[in-house]
Amino acid sequence: MSEANERHLQRAQAELRAGGAVLLRDDQNDVLVLSPERAAPDRLAALATLTGAPADLLISRRRAALAGLVAPIDPDDPRGVEPVAAPIRDIHDPSWRLAADPMLSGDGAAARAHALGRLRPAGRASAAAIALAKRGGLLPALVAVELPAGQLPGGATALDPVIIDARLLKEGQIAAGHLTRVAEARVPLADAENCRLIAFRPADGGPEHLAIVVGEPEPGAPILARLHSECFTGDLLGSLRCDCGEQLKGAIRTMAASGGGVVLYLAQEGRGIGLINKLRAYALQDRGLDTVDANLTLGYEADERDFRPAAEMLRALGHTRIRLLTNNPAKVVALGAHGIEVVERVPHAFPANGHNAGYLSTKARRAGHML
């Protein structure tokens, strides 16, 4: 993807987060979308009357199933990510929002009966729109109107949409790599006085990733490495709901004791759904869901992370063979797929406490972690 396209993608993401409209163009059909989480009521109403037909609620098939709008679908069924569209009979009736936002109290089946029409499969542009909402850290639920390809009704100009090619959001084309090394400094740590932080900035303007280089890892040797997704609550606040803080500090101590290593601190909070949505997932867990089902209920997948940036950072640091500190076999597979040889998986588990035992059990039982 060119830098110009990456900048345009970032602009569309920012517009959606700010409550603005985005038009995603595709050779099948175009789709004009607003986020009900961010857009003002008058803008949603303007969109709903744009074509004379009802605007649609766009959500994933899995989110629709969990809201009671379609038959249940297995969490591992790949069809769960497919977008579906349901006509919103009255944009001013708030009950349709029950299918869009799982944090609202109410009955999803009632939302279908009173506010939404029959669901139908949505097109490629709609799938790209949901991907854009995810990139922006928004709930993946949008109010949308489908339009003939290449045609923009006159009334749409009042919404002043950012126009973007939907193909930029196809799987595998989103700029996860293309990192630039932008800053480096020596930062002595309590558990590793010989330590450097190196910042990498993605070309699409997204948040920076950090490499925590402990000691003097030997070039060419299979170094100790850990992929650590940032966790504000665990790493900084010492939350007991997860084991992230212990894993981060434990990795640094292990590397310092063994002469060196690299922790790749990735800007992928909450398995890639962002801090706000992670807090929403916590609230759903307090209602009785486990960590996997909470993410699925929000409309996200169980794990939305992309480990291509980690592979690129390792190569930039001169390391292509590693001993990976992890309990997650998916990380081993992902790094191998992106050209990093994991010569050994080094177990990295810590005892449960009274608050995270269920979380750890779910990781082992449903995500295959080797605990």
Q: Could you list the residues known to form a binding site, using ranges.
A: 226-231, 242, 244, 247, 269-271, 291, 326, 331
Tokens 């101590």 label which residue? 253
| 34 token code pair | 């607003």
β-bridge mates for residue 88, sequence order: 116
d(CA 94, CA 83): 21
Q: What is the CB neighbour count within 10 angstroms for residue 123?
A: 18
Please state the residue numbers annotated as binding site for GTP.
226-230, 247, 269-271, 291, 326, 331
Which of 101, 290, 303, 306 does the annotation list as catalytic?
303
Place of tokens 């280089």: 213
- Cβ atoms of 41 and 55 closer than 8 Å: no
Q: How far is CA 145 from the centre of its chain?
A: 24
**CA 176, chain centre distance (Å):** 12
CA–CA separation, 172 and 338 (whole Å): 12
> Exposed e or buried b for every residue in 327-352, given b needs 16+ CB within 10 A?
bbeebbebbeebebebeebbebbeee
Spatial contact of 344 and 224, defined as CB atoms under 8 Å apart: no
Query: Residues forming the annotated binding site for Zn(2+)?
Result: 231, 242, 244
Quick check: is 305 catalytic?
A: yes
DSSP state string for 330-369: HHHHHHHHTT-EEEEEEP------TTTHHHHHHHHHHH--
Is 303 marked active-site?
yes
Distance CA 4, CA 280 (A): 34
Which residues are the active-site residues? 303, 305
